[in-house]
Amino acid sequence: MFALNLPSLLALGFIVAVVLMTMGYRETQLPGRANTLFRAGLMLLGVMIALTPILWYSTWAMPSGNLLMSLADIFVLGLGTLFGGIVIGAGFLFRLRK
């Protein structure tokens, strides 16, 4: 059987986002490539921030069969998704100036 470990996949996504942002920040030859790499890393970071609470909740709630959400669950999931959306929006609007 093939199983995926959720924390390792989330960590891999965060690491790839940070590496892309670092590569974009350190690029000195081509400013267009620097902007593209940094923005891609920032948008991936926002996606990972938005997906993390949703995936954690679904991982723990689905096998137990308890899909009833309390107000605190809705608040935490909504807050994580909102913050991830803000980071994604910043990735769309961000321009790296050197």
pLDDT tens readout for residues 71-92: 888 898 899 999 999 999 988 8
Band (pLDDT 50/70/90 cuts) for residue 65 is confident
DSSP state of 29: S
Q: Supply the pTM of this predicted model.
A: 0.81
Domain borders along the chain are 7-93
Examine the pLDDT at 98 and tell me if it is beyond 60: no
Answer yes or no: are the C-beta atoms of 44 and 24 closer than 8 Å: no
How many angstroms separate the CA atoms of 39 and 66, rounded? 38
| Position 61 pLDDT exceeds 60 | yes
Please provide residue 5's backbone torsions phi and psi, each rounded to the nearest 5 degrees: -95, 115
